[in-house]
Structure 1
Amino acid sequence: MSEKREGYQFVGWYIDKECTKRLNPGGVLPHSVTLYDKWIPIWYPIEYDVDGGVMSRRNPRYTCIESEELLLYPAFKKGVMFVGWQLNGEIITSLPAGIHEPVILTAIYKECPVIHFETCGGANYMDVCTDEHGLLMKMKAPIRVGYTFDGWFWDCDYRWRYNLDEPIHESCTLYAHWQVSQYKITYDLNGGLSSRRNPKSYTYFSDTIHLLPATKPGYEFVGWFDERGNELNVIREHSMGNKHLIAQFRKRELN
C-alpha cells in the first residue's frame, strides 16, 4: 500500500528508479525486486469572486503544491478602487507557493474619489479614480485641434492650477486650459532677401497667407518650396505645423 502525500496523487509502482516501467496491478513477479512509487502533483482550481467587477485574463486558473509564488493582477470595477485579493481573511497581491487545496479569492474594493475631466473643446476623457494615496496616474495630454494643452485647473476660471503630485480627497471636476498653438515659419533665402511683410509665424485660425516673393540681384524668383521640393507660395487657413520655406531663383538671361 502507498502512503498518502499531501498535494500529490499516487500513480503506481515501478520497477525502475526513473519510473518508466510500471508494474501491472495483479502481476506476478518472477523474483524479488525493489519497487518505486510514483506521484504527480494535483492541480487545484482557483476561483475569483469579483463582486460585479472584471478580472484580468492574466490571472492564474490553477495551482499545485509545486507551483512557485503566482502574481495576481487586479480586478476592475467602475466607481471604486481595487485594494487586493482576500484569501482566508488576508489581503494578498500574489498567491503563495506550495498551496495544495482549492482556492477562492475575493476582490476587495473601497470607495475612492471620482475625477471628471472637462476638456473644454478637446477630446473627451473618461472619469477615473485616484489611487490609495489620492493621486492620479500619469495621463496623456488631451488633444484639441489648433491648440496646445496648458494643464488642468481646479476651477473653470483657470485661477488654481492642479499638479499631478497633489492628492485629491473627494470627487471633483478638473478643467483643461488651452493656448492657441503658434507655428514657426522660417525662410532659407539662398543669398536673397525676403519681404519684411512675410510672417514669421501663424496659427490654425490665421487667414490664408499669400507669401511675397524674395529678391536676389541678377536672379528671377521662382517660388517658395518646402523641404520635400513641393511649391508652397500659400499657407492656407487651418494649416498646422512649422514651415521651413526655401527660396528658389533662376539667373536672369542677359539680352
Structure 2
Amino acid sequence: MLVILTLLAIPSCKHGNTGTLEPEPEQVVYTVTFDTDGGSEISAKSVNADEAVAQPDSPTKTGFVFDGWYTDSQLTTAWDFETKVTQNITLYAKWKILVLNVTFFTDGGTEIDSQKVNYNEKAVKPASDPTKENCTFDGWYTDRTYSTEFDFTTEITQDITIYAKWIVSEESFEVKFETSGGSDIATQVIKENEKATKPDVDPTREHSKFDGWYADEGCSVAFDFDTELTEATTIYAKWIPIYTVTFNTNGGTTVTAQEVEDGKKATKPTADPTRTKYKFLGWYADENCTEGQEYNFNNSVYSNLTIYAKWIPLYTVTFIGADIPPKTLEKGQTIAKPETPTRSDGALFDDWYIDEEYSAKYVFGSEIVADIKIYAKWLDSWTVTFSGASSIEPVSVKHNQTVTKPADPADTETLAFDGWYADSTFKTPFDFNTKITANTTIYAKWLPFYTITFNSVDGSNVNPIKVVQGKKATKPADPTRGSRTFAGWYKDSSYTQAFDFTAETITRDITLYARWNMPEGVDNAITMNVEKGQLDVTYSPYTNGLWMQYEYTFTCNDGPADWYLNNKLVKSNSSEYMYTRTYFQQTGIFTVEARKVINDIVYTWTAVCSM
C-alpha cells in the first residue's frame, strides 16, 4: 500500500525582532513516503531539512518477512536511518518468502529431523517412525492431547510442532511435564516405585523466566525428584513473567530495550540518547512528554511499557561582522546583548541588525525560535537627527566632535519653538558642547499658542493676541469709551477677578473684559437703543378708526438692567426689553425706564414713547 502526504513547508514562528531566520521566512520540511508493496500501511512522515527521519515500525505482509527499507524500487540500496533528509523521498519495503519450521516432538522417542517449509507448502511425513522403550508408536498428532491426527497434505502457514503418540505398556506409566505454553519437555515412561528424572534442559517461554518444577498446578509445592512414583504423574513448570521496556527516542540514537521480571525495576540507561541540534530533557511516561510525567525508574514493572525521550530544539545565533563566537541556545531562551565589539581600523560600531541591509535593529531579549544571524553595522561618523523639525536635515558628525546648533525652526500658526532637548520627554535641554560618540537624536520642543480675546464692552476695539503656553501676555494699550474711564481688564463679565499681566501665565484660551468708571458728577449714565416697528395685523373695524399695533425693542448698552413700564417692574436683570403685548388705537403715550446699579449708584434712563 502506498501512502502519500504532501507537506512541503511549515511557516516558522517569530516573536519580536528575532534576526534572520534560516531559512526565511519558512522552515523547510520534507516528506518521507513508505511504499510497502502490498504490506500493511505505514504513514508518511514529515521531517525538517537536514534531520534524520525516525524509523517506523516494520510493516507486515502475509507469507513474507520484512527485510528492510530501500531507496529504489529495484531494492538495490538500503536506507540508513541515520542519514539526513535533504529532499522528498520514497522508501521501498523489501520482502522475503516466509520459511516455516516443522518440528517433530517424539516425547522421549528417537529423534526425527525438523523440516524447513516455505509458506503454503506441505511437510513431508518422516520415512520411518520413531521408537521409544516400553511404548508403541501410534501416529503423528497436532497437539499433545492427541485429539487430531496430523494430515500431511495440509499447507503450512505457521511454525508447527507435530507430536508422536505412544501407547504405554501395561507394566509402565507416564510422567508428564506441563510447561503451560513453554517449550515441550519429553514425557518419561517409568515403572512402579521408580523415580522421575529431572530434565537436563529447563523449558523456555517467551517473556517468561522458568522458576522450577512443582507438584501441583498452582505451583505451591516444589516437586521432589527423589520421590518414588506409583502412578501416572504430571509435574508443572512455574513461570515468572518478563516484560519488555522499550525506549522510544523520538528520532534520537537507539537505546536497547530491557527485559524486566514482573515486579522488578527498569534500569535507567547509563548514557543519554543524542539527536542532532536537540538537547535531551529526560525520560517520560507518556508519548507527549507532558510536564510532570517524568518516568520514575524506582517504579516496579508489571506490564510491557514504552518510555519516551523528551527533546528541546537547539538553535544557533551567529554574529556577522564581528569577532564573536556563535552561541547555541534552547528554543525559547533569550540572548543578552554582547559587549560592544571593536575593529582595528578604527571603524565605529553602530548596533546589531536583523539583516545585512540593516533594515531594523535586533531586539535582544526576544525568544529564540530558529537559527538566526545578527549583523554588526560599522560607521566612520555618527548621524545626528533633529526630531520634530522636518525642515532640518540630519547631519554627520565625526566621532568625539560637537554638532553645530541649527537655526531655530519657525513658529507655526499654532505652535512656538521652545528649544532643543536631549530626550523625548523634554526633561533635559541639549548641550551643544556635548561630544558625539553614538548616533544621536535631538528633540525640538514645541508649545501651543493660546489666544487672549479682549471684550472692550462698547469701548474701542482691542485686537486678540497670541501667547505661548506658560508665558505671560503683554498688556495692550488701554481702550477708550467716550467720557468713561478705563478701570482695567477682568477675567469675568461681573468684574470679580482682575487679570494681572505681570504675574499670570497663559495655559488656555481666555477672554478679558474691560471695566469702565463713569465720569464724576454724571448721574444718568445708561444708554439705550430703541427700535420701533409696525406689525401687519388685521382686526375687526373700530368706530373711530383701525386698531394699530407697534413693537418697541429697548436695549441697554451697559449690560443687564431692571425694566419698568409706566413705573411698574416688568422685567428683571436683562439687557433687552421688548414691548409688544399692549394694543393701542392710533394715539397713546407710555413710559419705559431702565434702572441699573453701578458702583452702588442707581442710574436711570427714561423713554417716553407715543403711538
Aligned equivalents of 2:27 and 2:51: distance in 1? Answer: 12
Structure-2 residue corresponding to 1:32: none
User: Counterpart amino acid of 2:117?
Assistant: Y
Q: Deviations over 1:188-228 (max 9, x none)?
A: 212334666xx51223231x446457332651324324367
Closer, same or farther in 2 for the Cα pair 1:177/1:88, shift >3 Å? same
Against the structure 1 CA distance between its residues 191 and 126, is the aligned structure 2 distance closer, same or farther, given a 3 Å change threshold?
closer
One of 46, 54, 71 as aligned partner of 1:129: 46
Tell whether 2:157 aligns with 1:239: yes
Tell me, yes or no, if the aligned pair for 2:30 and 2:88 is still in contact at 8 Å. Answer: yes
Indicate how the Cα distance of structure 1 residues 85 and 209 shifts in structure 2: closer, same or farther if over 3 A, else same. Answer: same
Q: Is the 8 A contact 1:183 1:201 kept in 2?
A: yes
Q: Aligned pair in 2 of structure 1 residues 234, 133: CA closer, same or farther (>3 Å)? A: farther
| 1:169-196, Cα deviation, whole Å (9 max, x unpaired) | 1112211111112222222212334666
Aligned mates of 2:139, 2:63 — CA distance in 1: 31
Instruction: Give the gaps of 5 or more residues in structure 2.
Output: 20-24, 171-611
Residue number in structure 1 paired with 2:131: 216
Deviation at 1:245?
A: 2.9
2:4 is the counterpart of 1:87 = no
**Is 1:200 paired with 2:118?**
no
1:172 partnered with 2:89: yes
Rounded Cα–Cα distance in structure 2 between residues aligned with 1:200 and 1:244: 10
Is the contact between residue 34 and residue 91 of structure 2 (CA under 8 Å) also seen in structure 1?
Answer: yes
Deviation at 1:84, TM superposition (A): 6.3
Distance 1:136-1:192 versus aligned 2 partners, 3 A rule: same
Distance in 2, matches of 1:89 and 1:80, equals 26
Alignment of 1:45-64 (within 5 A): none
SS in 1 for 2:43: coil
Whole-Å separation in 1 of the counterparts to 2:13 and 2:60: 37
Asked if structure 2 preserves the Cα contact closer than 8 Å seen for 1:194 and 1:214, the reply is no
Distance 2:137 2:87 in 1: 68
Corresponding residue pairs, total:
158
How far apart, in 2, do the equivalents of 1:149 and 1:131 lie? Answer: 27
Offset at 1:134? 2.9
Structure 1 unaligned regions, length at least 5: 1-76, 92-107
Q: Distance in 2 between matches of 1:150 and 1:84?
A: 38
2:36 is aligned, of 115, 119, 130, to 119
Pairing of 1:184-199 with structure 2 (within 5 A): 184-193=101-110
CA distance, structure 2, for counterparts of residue 112 and residue 127 of structure 1: 13
Q: What displacement does 1:144 show? A: 0.7
Partner of 2:98 in structure 1?
Answer: 181
The answer (yes or no) to whether the contact 1:223–1:249 under 8 Å persists in 2 is: no
Question: Residue type matched to 1:202 in 2?
Answer: V
Q: Separation in 1 of the partners of 2:149 and 2:59?
A: 31
Judge conservation of contact 1:225–1:248 (CA < 8 Å) in 2: no
Q: Tell me if structure 1 keeps the 8 A contact 2:100–2:157.
A: no
Distance apart, 1:85 and its partner CA: 4.7
Q: Is the 8 A contact 1:187 1:245 kept in 2?
A: yes
1:115 aligned partner, one-letter code: V
Residue equivalent to 1:72: none
Structure 1 residues 110 and 78: CA distance shift in structure 2, 3 A: farther
Deviations 1:38-78 (A, max 9, x none): xxxxxxxxxxxxxxxxxxxxxxxxxxxxxxxxxxxxxxx96
**1:114 to 1:227, Cα distance in 2 relative to 1, 3 A:** farther
> Offset at 1:139?
0.9
| Corresponding position of 1:104 | none
The whole-number CA distance in structure 2 between the counterparts of 1:228 and 1:86 is: 71
Instruction: Indicate how the Cα distance of structure 1 residues 249 and 227 shifts in structure 2: closer, same or farther if over 3 A, else same.
Output: closer
**Native 8 Å contact 1:147 1:180 kept in 2:** yes
Residue type matched to 1:204 in 2? Y
| CA distance 1:228–1:158, change in 2 (3 Å) | farther
**Displacement after TM superposition at 1:238 (Å):** 5.6
Distance 2:43 2:163 in 1: 44
